[in-house]
Copies of this chain bind each other. A is one copy, B any other.
Amino acid sequence: MSRNKSPVLAVDLGGTKIVAALVSAQGDIIQREYRLSLAKEGPEPVINRLLAMIGCILDKAKIKISQLMGVGIATAGILDARRGLVTASPNLPGWHDIPLRDIVKSKLGVSVYLINDASAAALGEHRYGAGRDVDNLIYLTVSTGIGGGIIIGGELYSGVDGCAGEIGHMTIETDGPQCSCSNFGCLEALASGTAVANEAISRVSRGEKSSLTEISGGRFENITAEIVGVAAWDGDPMACEIVAKAANYLGIGMANLVNIFNPEKIVIGGGMAHMGDMLLEPARRVVRERAFQLPAGRVNIVPAQLGDDAGVIGAAAFVFEKQSC
């Protein structure tokens, strides 16, 4: 296997699950593993789990670490790219200034690159997914939280410390609800899957009528954004209202991005994107109402194409491009 054809081992480390994959230079997944993160156990067990998954993939694919181009790790949180630290991560409890890059590098003896998970997904969608045809795009992942990635002139824009793109933590409601980042009225606190689930739980708990009471068997804490989406799809008025409210906030956030970036595309990934046009069509309408006509008319707001693989594919693309510099 020649050096320039070597695959990358890419990991997407999230608050809920870890995905690891062997990715070819063409962006194809050769081998893939999923595990629960069990993030509550703290950094060390999670890192050991991640290392074990890498070992497992190498075994299955019958290749050695030395045959890899490198390892790319997409991680939720605020990364200090230059020092290879996970400085903080709302969805990874206990992760404060964890030198993840150097820990993994010292265990494996191979080049390791860290990238924010939404930035990785942005890169993946740009190189191999819904953004292949444009040079300027904003990627938003709307799931438990809201992450973002910015592609400018065909390149990932990371800012001076590598932590740009925290679009979910843009305040759009000054005195809005508190966010997991401790700020108030962030887009994430208003339009994420967590926000949708929390509002549904709070409203059925207060006794509002909704099919969600029955669907959840009275165990309101089990209500998720996905369940709210299904109920809305079936016409439940309360669920429809909650989805419409999230779509309105998502539209406001995107109108801001349209006025600031004048992008060609906004690509929407994450679990909430599975709601499709029920979420995206009212959000597009808000963009047309609130943003300036020229950039609002220009932008295409489209669903992502790579699904759960965007993070690993993007992390792999990041390594291929770093190594070819």
**Min C-beta distance of A192 to chain B, whole Å:** 15
Specify the chain B residue showing the minimal Cβ separation from A252.
Answer: B171
A173 touches B174 (CB 8 A): yes
Interface string of A20-54 (1 = CB under 8 A from B): 00000000000000000000000000000000000
Among listed A162-170, A213-221, A306-314, interface-contacting one = A162-170
Q: Among the listed B161, B183, B262, B294, which residue makes an inter-chain contact with A294, where contact means beta carbons less than 8 Å apart? A: B161
| Contact residues in B for A157 (Cβ distance below 8 Å) | 152, 261
- A164 touching B80 in the complex, CB below 8 Å, given contacts A88-B293, A252-B171, A294-B87: no
Specify the chain B residue showing the minimal Cβ separation from A190.
Answer: B174
A170 touches B87 (CB 8 A): no
Residue A263 is within 8 A (CB to CB) of chain B in the complex? yes
- A165 touching B293 in the complex, CB below 8 Å, given contacts A171-B172, A172-B171, A249-B174: no
Within 8 A of B (CB), among A108-167: 135-136, 148, 150, 152, 157-167
Interface string of A277-293 (1 = CB under 8 A from B): 00000000000011111
Residue A259 is within 8 A (CB to CB) of chain B in the complex? yes
| Contact residues in B for A325 (Cβ distance below 8 Å) | none
**Alpha-carbon gap, A111 to B295, bound state (A):** 26
Within 8 A of B (CB), among A266-286: none
Residue A264 is within 8 A (CB to CB) of chain B in the complex? yes
| Contact residues in B for A165 (Cβ distance below 8 Å) | 260
A292 touches B181 (CB 8 A): yes
B174 touches A172 (CB 8 A): yes
**Min C-beta distance of A8 to chain B, whole Å:** 25
Residue A211 is within 8 A (CB to CB) of chain B in the complex? no
**Min C-beta distance of A43 to chain B, whole Å:** 18
**Min C-beta distance of A78 to chain B, whole Å:** 5
Residue A201 is within 8 A (CB to CB) of chain B in the complex? no
Q: Among the listed B169, B172, B252, B292, which residue makes an inter-chain contact with A78, where contact means beta carbons less than 8 Å apart? A: B292
Q: Among the listed B160, B252, B293, which residue makes an inter-chain contact with A262, where contact means beta carbons less than 8 Å apart? A: B160
- A292 touching B163 in the complex, CB below 8 Å, given contacts A183-B255, A259-B169: yes
**Alpha-carbon gap, A262 to B159, bound state (A):** 5
Given A78-B293, A171-B290; 4 other pairs, CB 8 A cutoff: A136-B160, A152-B157, A158-B262, A183-B289
